[in-house]
Amino acid sequence: MDELQAVQWHNGKVRLLDQTKLPQELVLLEISDYHGVVKSINSLAVRGAPAIGVAAAFGVVLAVCNADEVDRAGFITRANQAIDALKQTRPTAKNLFWALEKMRNAMSKNLNKPLREVKNAMLRQAQDILNDDIARCKKIGEHGAGLIPFRCTVLTHCNAGALATGGFGTALGIVRAAIEQGKKIKVFADETRPLLQGARLTTFELMEDDIDVTLITDSMAAYVIKKGLVQVVVVGADRIARNGDVANKIGTYGLAILAKEHKIPFVVAAPLSTFDPDTESGDDIRIEERDADEVRRIGDVLIAPEDVQVFNPAFDVTPNELISALVSERGVVRFPNEEKLKDWLK
């Protein structure tokens, strides 16, 4: 099978691989209006911060591609409505806001041209965001592979792979690049409750690539690390604050504490589009809370009293002091803090 692609632009439509159906069914969604993209981001048909950004960018293209080519005010209103609606979907994913800002700029800086050209410029911008993200992931892989021992087992959480990005992946991009360099790498994948991105998506995409992966439940991570079965933890990020604190899938913070206790490296991989220099620290990152039924149920099966109270934060924050290295397309920052990131992000 060709490398899994989460988001594509195909014949004037956004094509998404529906990640709510994986791994049982490979369903492609063909979306022709931005409301459909909003819905797909909310339902997690497309998920992972970089992939959300890419999908949102094409969502804005959908909003304008059939717009009247003489009504300039109407064109701008359509684009702004789509941008505003897409912004309401996943508050923690920095790449979403980054991509939408790029789309807004692509529109504003071309507005002196005929609207057909503005549309084309916006489509080119969305395609650049997609292609660029794949290139960034490849670079992250190259830089990050240097942190991975020749023979080792990596523990990862959630899915920070091809499915979560334009392609290749961030955390899983490091695994892929290390394997391409001839290293002997195995992976432990946390199942990642409540929505099981690790069990459903990470195992699936690694198995598609014949990468040795073993599934564990989240509660097994401490035991597995204590037994010495894991040499490094590698995860992705949804937003990285100015001081290097990292918001990522709920459960990441616990893994970072475990890594420190057991003296194994804890590595975070993300493109620069995930870095948020306007947010001082992790305390200032807005954490998305999701529907209670995601916790009360597994898939459609109720596993708790139907009316039990639930707390369902989708992400947590790992403080910079627990992070051994941040990897982006620009390279590696060991033991990140505000000082080091300031120089690095210049």
Minimum gap (Å) between residue 283 Cβ and ligand MRU = 19
Paired tokens of 223: 């035991």
Answer for which of 45, 49, 154, 155 binds ligand MRU (CB under 6 A) is 49
Q: Computed from CA positions of residues 140, 257, 218, 43, in that sequence, does the dihedral angle turn out positive or negative? A: negative
How far apart are alpha carbons 42 and 37 in whole angstroms?
Answer: 9
Specify whether the CB–CB gap between 318 and 245 falls below 8 A.
Answer: yes
Catalytic residue among 133, 190, 238, 245: 238
Smallest gap, in angstroms, from Cβ of residue 15 to ligand MRU? Answer: 19
Q: Which stretch binds ligand MRU (CB under 6 A): 123-131, 144-152, 230-238, 318-326?
A: 230-238
Q: Does 237 sit near ligand MRU (CB under 6 A)?
A: yes
Q: Which pairing describes strands 184-190 and 212-216: parallel, antiparallel, or unpaired? A: parallel
Catalytic: 238? yes
Select the residue interacting with ligand MRU from 102, 139, 176, 249 (CB under 6 A): 249
CB 210 within 8 A of CB 186: no
Q: Convert 26-43 to b/e letters by CB count within 10 Å (16 or more is b).
A: eeebebebbebbbebbee
Task: Work out how close the CB of 110 gets to ligand MRU at its nearest, in angstroms, rounded to a whole number.
Answer: 30
Min CB(249)–ligand MRU separation in Å: 3
- What would the two tokens of residue 342 be? 């300031």
- Contact status: 86 vs ligand MRU (CB under 6 A): no
Give the per-residue contact string, 149-188, with ligand MRU (x = CB under 6 A; - = no): ---------x-x---xx----x------------------
CB of 297 to ligand MRU, least distance (A): 16
Distance CA 338, CA 206 (A): 34
Q: Give the type of residue at 53.
A: G
Quick one: which segment of 78-86, 138-146, 202-210, 231-239 binds ligand MRU (CB under 6 A)? 231-239
Residues 182-201 that bind ligand MRU (CB under 6 A): 197
Q: What is 96-146 written as a DSSP string?
A: HHHHHHHHHHHHHTTTTS-HHHHHHHHHHHHHHHHHHHHHHHHHHHHHHHT
54 binds ligand MRU (CB under 6 A): no
What is the closest distance, in whole angstroms, from the C-beta atom of residue 151 to ligand MRU in the complex? 25
Distance of alpha carbon 168 from alpha carbon 130, whole angstroms: 12
CB 206, CB 155: distance < 8 Å: no
Rule CB under 6 A: is residue 248 a binding residue for ligand MRU? Answer: yes
By C-alpha distance, which of 272, 340, 331, 334 is closest to 145? 331
Across the strands, what pairs with 269? 327
Q: For residues 78 and 90, which CB has a smaller minimum distance to ligand MRU in the complex?
A: 90
| Near ligand MRU by CB under 6 A: residue from 6, 14, 38, 47 | 47
Residue (36 or 166) nearer to ligand MRU, CB: 166
Binding mask 309-328 for ligand MRU (x = CB under 6 A): -----x--------------
Regarding 50 and contact with ligand MRU (CB under 6 A), the answer is: yes
Structure tokens at 313: 């934060």
**Residues with catalytic annotation?**
238
Residues near ligand MRU (CB under 6 A): 47-50, 158, 160, 164-165, 170, 197, 236-238, 248-249, 314
